[in-house]
Structure 1
Amino acid sequence: MDRIKIKSVTTLAEHWGALRQADVEYRAADGSLHHLKREIYDRGNAAAIALFDPARQTVLLVRQARFPALLNGDPAFMLEVCAGMLDGDDPFTCAHKEALEETGHAPRNVRKICNIYPSPGAVQEKVALFVGEYDAQTRQAQGGGLAHEGEDIELVELPLDEALGMIESGELTDAKTIILLQHLALERGA
């Protein structure tokens, strides 16, 4: 931290999230001093949860529109694990809430895997990653997201091996989902 000093932070735009510009003084390893300006996007921290049925070796994913992917020339509808902004909740509570809202399942045996910064060069968001179990008994609601939040979520259940194959084929590109699916594969010894 002695090598980096934030001199100022200016808000450039604030709507769904905040775009800020940081004026940073950075001392390189060779001792030279650099003054940098960097834009940082902050929409808050989040939690994500992979739902896994160990008896059937399936995962329950969600498909929803992701406009930045579309702007980048990729398909807008992406397969992902359940996730959402903390909005004042702790990460564990958020993961449970998002699973119920998006899939209708109240997962059990939920455990935290790790925290990640999906794109630390420009995005301030830190995401807590969880794995939880689901089956017919954990279903408590319809799922599909919250209409008043503009969510239109499709549930997609896949064998874990098929979901892992979708990473290799490029059909599944969401970072948090890839990390959690690969974690499940490592846990089962694949």
Structure 2
Amino acid sequence: MTAGLDTPDRRGRTGLDRHGRDLTGNPRVRISDVEVLSCDWYVLRRTTFDFQHSDGHWSREQRETYDRGDGATILLYHPGRRTVLLTRQFRLPAYVNGHHDGMLIETAAGLLDGDSPEEAIRREAAEETGHLVGTPERVFDVYMSPGSVTERLHFFAAPYRSTEATAGAHGVAAEGEDIETVELPFEEALSMIRCGAIADAKTIMLLQWAALDGPFRHR
């Protein structure tokens, strides 16, 4: 018996090796095997499939996919003051891959964990910034790293009120989070992209959306 396959893993999941086996949307892809390599918290799979190339021939391929679930992120902005409310927290993967201290400035974000994208982003905004979001504006949905990671990230935006507290540490302490809120003038946040002080992809995408099509676009 194997945890995550025949018996529940520590998150209560079974049948993790069946993911993707019944896909029929692309007739050029025939999935033949799915092997679970790890399911300690997220799930690493190796999938074997036959792929029909544009010239008609078939080849046997293998790919590893990392499944951490889908997520949501939100840009909180104040249209009158032309400011944005971001977060700063430690990110180990960035730290071990060249970031000088691993403290990244980001939009509030988190995994859906079974909630709808709208419910999840309201939860994450409250946990990470102390801000209560009403009905967020949906911006777009994006596969952030489609070559290896299955995650689809749902992007949102919403205004925040200047009367709401933004200072201090936030996050879920039981999950090791220690998240600082950072209020910045919008133009300063854009300049931080250019100099590399903001290096998080989702944050860059939402800031550029705000400048091109969102609340701070030139009219």
Task: Pick the TM interval, shorter chain.
Answer: over 0.9
Partner SS, residue 89 of structure 1: coil
| Contact kept in structure 2, 1:104 and 1:142, CA below 8 Å | no
Amino acid at match of 2:80: A
| Contact kept in structure 2, 1:108 and 1:133, CA below 8 Å | no
1:85 aligns with 2:144: no
Amino acid at match of 1:189: R
| Contact kept in structure 1, 2:167 and 2:180, CA below 8 Å | no
| Contact kept in structure 2, 1:46 and 1:128, CA below 8 Å | yes
Higher fraction of helix: 1
1:18 aligned partner? 43
Using the alignment, how far apart are the partners of 1:171 and 1:30 within structure 2?
46
1:38 aligns with 2:63: yes
Using the alignment, how far apart are the partners of 1:171 and 1:26 within structure 2?
42
1:169 aligns with 2:195: yes
* Structure 2 counterparts to residues 136-175 of structure 1, below 5 A: 136-139=162-165, 144-175=170-201
Using the alignment, how far apart are the partners of 1:109 and 1:32 within structure 2?
49
Amino acid at match of 1:7: S
Q: Identity of aligned pairs, percent?
A: 44
| Contact kept in structure 2, 1:100 and 1:143, CA below 8 Å | no
Using the alignment, how far apart are the partners of 2:130 and 2:66 within structure 1?
31
Q: Which has the larger radius of gyration?
A: 2
| Contact kept in structure 2, 1:105 and 1:141, CA below 8 Å | no
How many residue pairs end up in the alignment? Answer: 190
Using the alignment, how far apart are the partners of 2:195 and 2:209 within structure 1?
18
CA separation of 1:105/1:155 partners in 2, compared to 1, >3 Å: closer, same or farther? Answer: same
CA separation of 1:62/1:129 partners in 2, compared to 1, >3 Å: closer, same or farther? Answer: same
1:100 aligns with 2:126: yes
| Contact kept in structure 1, 2:167 and 2:181, CA below 8 Å | no
| Contact kept in structure 1, 2:75 and 2:85, CA below 8 Å | yes
Higher fraction of strand: 1
1:135 aligned partner? 161
Match of 1:56 among 81, 85, 99: 81
Partner SS, residue 148 of structure 1: helix
CA separation of 1:54/1:89 partners in 2, compared to 1, >3 Å: closer, same or farther? Answer: same
CA deviations 1:23-55 (Å, max 9, x no partner) are 121111111212111110001011101100111
| Contact kept in structure 2, 1:144 and 1:153, CA below 8 Å | yes
Q: List, as ranges, runs of 4+ consecutive aligned residues in structure 1 with deviation greater than 3 Å.
A: 137-143
| Contact kept in structure 2, 1:107 and 1:138, CA below 8 Å | no
What is the TM-score normalised by the length of structure 1? Answer: 0.94
RMSD across aligned positions (CA): 1.7
Partner SS, residue 136 of structure 2: strand
1:114 aligns with 2:140: yes
Amino acid at match of 2:156: F
| Contact kept in structure 2, 1:106 and 1:139, CA below 8 Å | no
| Contact kept in structure 2, 1:108 and 1:134, CA below 8 Å | no
